[in-house]
Structure 1
Amino acid sequence: MKSIWFLLMLVPCLVFGQSKEEMIAQVKANPKDANSLRLIQRIGGYDPEYVELNNLFKKLDKKVRKSNDGLLFERYLKALKSTQIGKKAPSITQLNLEGDPYSLSDLKGKYVLIDFWASWCPDCRKQVPALLETYGRFKDKNFEILGVSFDREYEPWAKYVKEQNLAWKHVSDLQNMNNSAGQTYGVRAIPQNVLVDPNGIIIGRNLHGEELNAFLAEVLK
């Protein structure tokens, strides 16, 4: 099961078997219910669309939007908006596995896949074989991966990177799902990724497997 910290706060009355259409209808039918904020988060899932979520948020009652949870959700929406395709990628500086500061800007001039993941995340682990294939195929073609770990402890993170021979760049602030870069990029579920071009512009979001390979083959040819 993918990891969404926000969903852990859902109230028991919400039914996880709902379709996206049913959830959207429920939000529209309950604009004064604070639980609609959680439901909008679920609608976003693992590939949230800013415009869709913002339109639903704006339909909520002003009292809900201006509540503490509403203001936090609005901040999340602003992060999504600022990291849409075509936007300048926000800076990232965290510690690497050697304990030294490492920044996204250190990879300026390359195509960079910012991969948000954690060693404890089952679905992140499932992505590893595909990422290894992608890295092996494109690493000598001006492409790099910056793994941003949502781990809380150094040892499991470092051990997994070494065991799996994840030879790309890695950073973390060891703040789990409160990772500062994750908050800046509007990441509340992992795995997610953002693809940045050599000029620091976001050109893709949540591309995986063959879709990612096909995209890279096109831009790197």
Structure 2
Amino acid sequence: MNKKTIITTLLALVAMVGQAQEKREYNISGFVPDGIVKVYLYKTEGLGNRVFLDSAIVADGKFTMKGNRPAYDLVSLGNKGLHSITFFVDGEPMTVDFANDTLIASTLNEKFQGYMAEDKVFTDNFYRLFMASKKAASETEKHETEQQITANNEAMIEQARRVIRENRDNVIAAYFLQAASGYMDYEELSAVIDSTTYYFNHPLMNEARQRLQVLQLRQVGKPLTNFALADPDGQSHQLSEWCGQGKYVLIDFWASWCRPCRMEMPNVIQNFERFRDLGFEMLAVSIDDKKSAWLRGIKDFGTPFVQLSDLKGRNSELAAIYGITTIPANLLVNPQGKIIAADLRGKALTKKLEEIFNDK
């Protein structure tokens, strides 16, 4: 490593440390409806766990709160009976009127609230459809509702992609990358994770950076690693029995307990039946750990293609090789046995197969 490279690396490290240590003030004043006696500042970590950071006593329907947090920390303000407001600590004063649902803040945070309002439409729609699917009177009605859920989720991710494109110069992109990164392939994700931007080192980027490392394991152009798995009868098979044998092969990772897999499966089956006679094959790799659950899932899902598993659950060796940490997930392999795409869902799967087989 030459002297210039060493200096550049050290400067980058200094910049990263400086960002990590930088503090910004939050200076909040606000109004709340009758009956609210206290307002809390908190962070949400893990599976909805709240970490309380600060609080303010309400007097005559008003409160003030002031303190310091790491620069651009994402925090929330609220209490029972209030709609929480999530914002970035950017050092600019903020006035919140919970009674009239208004916010006066920095350009960054007002812009963020606008995007959050758009996102809430999708979230509310998801919960409405989810409850409708649970109350469906027939399998046909349930299937139609689940298709609407899939379409709603796809629209939500497209909205997140748009927000990321519009905010490459600020931390808003980091927030929306949390949701969208799981739907991006290596090329798309590596293009939006730019190490020269401020948000690259933001804690919200941890999951996206980890996913990029995972996607490198199944990068387009890599030859598929051969592996042995058993079918439902206990017979061992090599992936090479199908992959690299002149057909396009989709290796689909699923599990009997996976509700998103259940919602995606009709789309997968529809594509298999449409393209199977054109040179398309499918291998369904279960991440179940109990054979009875696996067999029941095959029957419930009605999957008409090859079924394989090592019945090691989340410790599946094949899943580990390709960095499969969430399902549904898939790999599309070309006739020569090389990966050409990953994590194709919904319309993206159909579009890719239409391109391959020139069938629209």
Q: Give the TM-score normalised by the residue count of structure 2.
A: 0.45
Compute the displacement of 1:220 (Å): 2.1
Structure 1: runs of 5+ lacking an equivalent: 1-6, 26-39, 61-72
What residue in structure 2 maps to residue 85 of structure 1? 220
Is the 1:97–1:171 contact (alpha carbons within 8 Å) kept by the matching residues of 2? Answer: yes
Structure 1 position 206, deviation (Å): 1.4
C-alpha separation between the residues in 2 aligned to 1:160 and 1:15? 41
State how far apart, in whole Å, the 2-side matches of 1:125 and 1:188 are. Answer: 17
Q: 1:165 aligns with which of 302, 311, 322?
A: 302
2:271 to 124, 134, 149: 134
Q: Report the 3-state secondary structure (helix = DSSP H, G, I; strand = E; otherwise coil) of the residue aligned with 2:292.
A: helix
Per the alignment, do residues 137 and 81 of structure 1 end up closer, same or farther by CA in structure 2, a change over 3 Å counting?
Answer: same
- Residues 183 and 8 of structure 1: is their aligned pair in 2 closer, same or farther, counting only changes over 3 Å? farther
| Percent of residue pairs identical | 32
Task: Give the counterpart of 1:100 among 235, 238, 252.
Answer: 235
Task: Please give the alpha-carbon distance, in whole angstroms, between the structure 2 residues aligned to 1:82 and 1:90.
Answer: 11
Residues 136-183 of structure 1 deviation map (CA, whole Å, 9 limit, x = unaligned): 111111111111111111111112212332111111111222211111
CA distance change for structure 1 residues 186 and 128 in 2, over 3 Å: closer, same or farther?
same
Q: Secondary structure at the match of 1:160?
A: helix
Aligned counterparts of 1:10 and 1:48: Cα–Cα separation in 2: 27
Asked whether the 8 Å contact 1:94–1:103 carries over to 2, the reply is yes
**What is the match of residue 34 of structure 1?**
none
Match of residue 195, structure 1, among 322, 332, 337 = 332
Are positions 1:146 and 2:265 aligned together?
no
Report the residue type matching 1:95 in the other structure: A
For the 8 Å contact 2:185–2:341, the answer to whether it is kept is no
Cα 1:82–1:194 shift into 2, 3 Å: same
Q: Which has the higher contact order (CA 8 A, sep 6+)?
A: 1
User: Aligned letter for 2:305?
Assistant: W
Structure exhibiting the larger radius of gyration computed from Cα positions:
2
Residue identity matched to 2:239: L
CA distance in 1, matches of 2:353, 2:301: 23
Q: Deviations over 1:18-44 (max 9, x none)?
A: 98845848xxxxxxxxxxxxxx98774
Amino acid at match of 2:311: L
Could you tell me how far 1:217 is from its partner in structure 2? 2.1
Instruction: Give matches, 1:11-90, under 5 Å.
Output: 13=51, 21-22=171-172, 24=174, 44-47=181-184, 49=186, 51=190, 79-90=214-225
Look up the match of 2:71: none
Q: Among 341, 345, 350, which residue is 1:208 paired with?
A: 345
Q: Deviations over 1:190-219 (max 9, x none)?
A: 111111101011111111233212221221
Return the offset for 1:103.
2.1
Residue in structure 1 matched with residue 128 of structure 2 by the alignment: none
Q: Are 1:118 and 2:262 matched, yes or no? A: no
Q: 1:148 to 1:47 in 2, by over 3 A?
A: farther
Alignment of 1:179-194 (within 5 A): 179-194=316-331
**Structure 2 unaligned spans of 5+:** 1-44, 52-73, 77-85, 88-115, 117-163, 165-170, 203-208
Q: Aligned partners of 1:180 and 1:8: how far apart in 2?
A: 26
On the 8 A contact 1:24/1:43 being kept in 2, the answer is no
Q: Which residue of 1 aligns with 2:133?
A: none
Aligned mates of 2:195, 2:325 — CA distance in 1? 19
Conserved 8 A contact 1:95-1:102? yes
Larger strand proportion, structure 1 or 2?
2
TM-score computed with the length of structure 1 as normaliser: 0.69
The Cα shift of 1:10 comes to 9.2
> How far apart are the structure 1 equivalents of 2:75 and 2:237?
42
Alpha-carbon distance in 1 for matches of 2:46, 2:354: 38
